[in-house]
Amino acid sequence: MLVAIVGRPNVGKSTLFNRLTESQLAIVHDEPGVTRDRVYGEIIWNGRTIPVVDTGGYVPHSSERFEAAIREQVDIAMEDADVILYVGDVTTGITDIDQEMADKLRKDDTPVLVVANKADNDERRWAASEFYEMGIGEVFPVSATNGIGTGELLDALVDTL
Ligand code: GDP
Ligand code: MG
């Protein structure tokens, strides 16, 4: 069993990974693209131990390589993972890359939970419902930095397994 955290750079995947695993295994950075490639950990919730991978980042040398790396990330996750946590950023909303990822995820049968991250306050939590437009799964407003919403997310994750 494996849960994969995927999404574009800088949306807070590594911060979420560290929050859910209560670890500091994944490197968080203010600049996109600095995460080590794949970091594995365990989520412990309601007596269950759930292996999770932060599918990580890349150094976007060119926009072409950047897009290719993101495509590869989602392809690997669809192959390896039993559930995908697709992380978006409520402060930017849905971007072109999110749309492209969603097109792929919609064609696959791997269950997806959408994490609308950086929902640090009420206003941002309301903005999270935009992510339903991606049409890939239930949306969970979460703040990976302060922990808001992670309980609901993990309850749903356990239900999905
Ligand atoms: P990744 O590239 O997707 O792994 O993103 P990181 O986890 O490295 O985070 C990128 C930036 O977003 C860092 O500056 C984080 O501190 C910030 N960040 C992550 N989660 C949140 C959040 O829930 N709220 C806010 N306000 N910032 C966040
Ligand atoms: Mg990262």
Assess contact for 114 and 131: CB atoms under 8 A: yes
Atom of ligand 1 nearest to the CA of 27: 8
Q: Which one is predicted more confidently, 98 or 62? A: 98
Closest CA to 141 of 104, 87, 101, 100: 87
Q: What is the model's pLDDT at position 8?
A: 87
Do the beta carbons of residue 98 and residue 141 sit within 8 Å?
A: no
74 confidence band (pLDDT: 50, 70, 90): confident
Report yes or no for ipTM above 0.95. yes
In single-letter form, the type of residue at position 120 comes to: D
CATH code where residue 10 lies: 3.40.50.300
Q: Where are the beta strands (DSSP E) in 8-47?
A: 39-45
For residue 64, count other CB atoms closer than 10 A to its CB.
9
Minimum mean pLDDT range among 27-31, 86-90, 99-103: 27-31
From 5, 6, 10, 24, give the residue whose CB has the most ligand 1 atoms within 8 Å, as the site to mutate: 10
The answer, yes or no, to whether any atom of ligand 1 lies below 6 A from the CB of 29, is yes
Specify the pLDDT at position 58. Answer: 47
Ion ligand 2, residue ranges at CB < 5 A:
13-14, 35, 57
Tell me which range, 30-34, 59-63, 98-102, 142-146, is most confidently predicted by mean pLDDT.
Answer: 142-146
pLDDT tens digits along 16-67: 999 999 988 787 765 555 455 678 999 999 999 999 999 865 445 556 666 7
Count of domains for the chain:
1
Q: Tell me the residue range of the domain where 16 lies.
A: 3-160
**Atom nearest to 56 CA in ligand 1:** 4
* Rounded-to-integer distance, Cα 113 and Cα 49, Å: 18
CA–centroid distance, residue 145 to ligand 1 (Å): 7
Q: In what side-by-side order are the strands of the sheet with 48-54? A: 39-45, 48-54, 3-6, 83-89, 112-117, 139-141
Share of the chain above pLDDT 90, in %: 69
**CA 132 – ligand 2 centroid, Å:** 23
- Residue type at position 93: G
The pLDDT of residue 65 is 66
- The predicted pLDDT at position 9 comes to 85
